């Protein structure tokens, strides 16, 4: 059975807050509660496009074996090839 939660009234909240402020061991954290935490990697200036690419299994295994960030390194390799006119 679920219990119904009720929010305190403004007066109750004010009393709770003033009691917490009076207690040196229980200071409320103003401005932090309710903020959304940003998850994931920071956004880049230019967004990348997701694609499907068929590669040989041994090539994929070697790329993944190079560790975290292998997709970023593949992007750098492709960018280098394109800028040098190899593609």
Q: Residue 43: what pLDDT?
A: 78
Residue numbers of the domain that contains 64: 53-87
Q: Residue 58: what pLDDT?
A: 96
Q: Two tokens at 25?
A: 């061991």
* pLDDT, average across residues 7-19: 90
User: Is residue 32 assigned to a domain?
Assistant: no
User: Is residue 57 assigned to a domain?
Assistant: yes
User: Is residue 14 assigned to a domain?
Assistant: no
Q: Residue 27 and residue 21: Cα distance in Å, rounded?
A: 5
User: Is residue 10 assigned to a domain?
Assistant: no
Domain count of the chain? 1
Task: Supply the DSSP string of 26-85, one letter for each residue.
Answer: ----TTTTTPPPP-SSPPPSS----------HHHHHHHHHT-TTHHHHHHHHHHHHHHTT
User: Is residue 8 assigned to a domain?
Assistant: no
Q: Residue 27: what pLDDT?
A: 63
pTM above 0.85, yes or no: no
For residue range 30-82, list pLDDT tens digits in order: 655 556 667 887 777 888 888 999 999 999 999 999 999 999 999 999 999 99
Q: Which of 61, 58, 55 is nearest to 78 (CA)?
A: 55
């Amino acid at each position: 059975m679920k219990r119904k939660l009720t929010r305190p009234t403004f007066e109750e909240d004010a009393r709770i807050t003033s009691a917490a402020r009076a207690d040196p061991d229980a200071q409320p954290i103003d401005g932090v509660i309710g903020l959304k935490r940003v998850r994931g990697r920071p956004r880049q200036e230019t967004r990348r496009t997701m694609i499907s690419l068929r590669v040989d299994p041994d090539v994929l295994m070697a790329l993944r074996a190079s560790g975290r960030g292998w997709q970023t390194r593949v992007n750098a390799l492709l960018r280098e090839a394109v800028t040098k006119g190899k593609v």
